A = this chain, B = another copy of it.
Amino acid sequence: MYKKTGKQTIIFENPIYINAFSSVVGKKEGQGPLNNFFDIVNDDTTFGEKSWEKAEMAMQKQAFELALGKASMNTDTLDYIYAGDLLNQCIASSFAHRYTKIPYFGLYGACSTMIESLILASMAIDGGFARNTASIVSSHFCSAERQYRLPLEYGGQRPPSSQWTVTGSGCVILSLDSKKKITITAALTGYIEDLNITDANNMGAAMAPAAYNSLSQFFKDTSTLPSDYDLILTGDLGYYGSKILKKLFLENGIKLGDNYNDCGLMIFDRKKQDVHSGGSGCGCSASVLCSYVLKEMENGRYKNVLLAGTGALLSPISSLQGESIPGICHIVRLEVI
């Protein structure tokens, strides 16, 4: 049985249940509009550790243990972990899970990694390879700044199109038969799109074409329109990238309405929090999904949600070598059943 619909979309045979989820964020995220939805807001962004990298490992570990607890599971019950982050060689993830003894798939999809991990985990469950999985990612403002840009101590100026890496981690436990309310019913894996944008301070613009490709293909494959969903979310296009996405849809005769939003615009208050174009990072879409989105689905506010995780597949080295910024966008459809 071939589970593809149209060109790129998968419709899962079984509903993949979201058994439990958790979100852990830093102080600045806790001061934003979604404050009440996060499980843990840690005012100490060091998480009690001696380096920013170790802080991120600790944060991811905390999110993982919290989700496992909420699902009333121990590590033996999990077939696989699908994890990733933005650090070189993805060390936040590998160190966070080094003592769990759970079979581990390391992923790198830049800021789209949470959705990549949900797609692969859903495939494993639907394909008969797993009963329970964990999808987890993280990003940390301080570890990301010094790796991608400048040490914090340097106090560099940021252009208006730059985005603020979210300090946050989100974890989702998927199960074959938890019979909870929220399920993943469909998914689309994006291809890489590179339209030769080279400004690493405007990643929203670099990712918007990939988001347009994936979303428009999903609508086509499933014969749906944006108005068929309660909520359509991109991961971290930010203010400028979201504007480009809406323009791309308009140019093709489709209006993204008030049901469209971007996790990077939801997690911070741009007027009060000095984050320029909005939030970004693996932890952005993950922590918004694992707080506001899933809790409001549980509360009955949303029933049918598209989450389109966006990623910019560059590195500081590729930018220094004059390369453009390849973008990608993966989608999952979340439904209350």
Binding site for B on A (CB under 8 A): 1-4, 8, 10, 13, 50-51, 53-54, 79-80, 84, 86-91, 94-95, 97-110, 116, 120, 123-124, 126-129, 131, 188-194, 313-318, 321, 323, 326, 328
Which B residues are in CB contact (< 8 Å) with A3?
127-129
Which chain B residue has the least Cβ–Cβ distance from A131? B2
A317-B91 contact, Cβ under 8 Å, with A104-B328, A108-B106, A127-B123: yes
A95-B1 contact, Cβ under 8 Å, with A53-B317, A123-B124, A315-B87: no
* CB atoms of B94 and A192 under 8 A apart: yes
A53-B321 contact, Cβ under 8 Å, with A89-B110, A103-B190: yes
Q: How many copies does the complex hold?
A: 2
* CB atoms of B99 and A4 under 8 A apart: no
Which B residues are in CB contact (< 8 Å) with A126?
127, 129
Which chain B residue has the least Cβ–Cβ distance from A318? B91
* CB atoms of A90 and B108 under 8 A apart: yes
Q: How far is the CA of A314 from the CA of B50 in the complex (A)?
A: 18
Q: Which of B88, B94, B101, B105 contacts A189 (CB 8 A)?
A: B105
Which B residues are in CB contact (< 8 Å) with A79?
4
Q: Which of B13, B94, B190 contacts A104 (CB 8 A)?
A: B190
* CB atoms of B131 and A95 under 8 A apart: no
A326-B189 contact, Cβ under 8 Å, with A87-B315, A105-B120, A128-B127: no
Q: What are the 6 closest A-B residue pairs judged by CB atoms, nearest first?
A: A127-B127, A94-B313, A89-B315, A103-B189, A88-B88, A98-B194
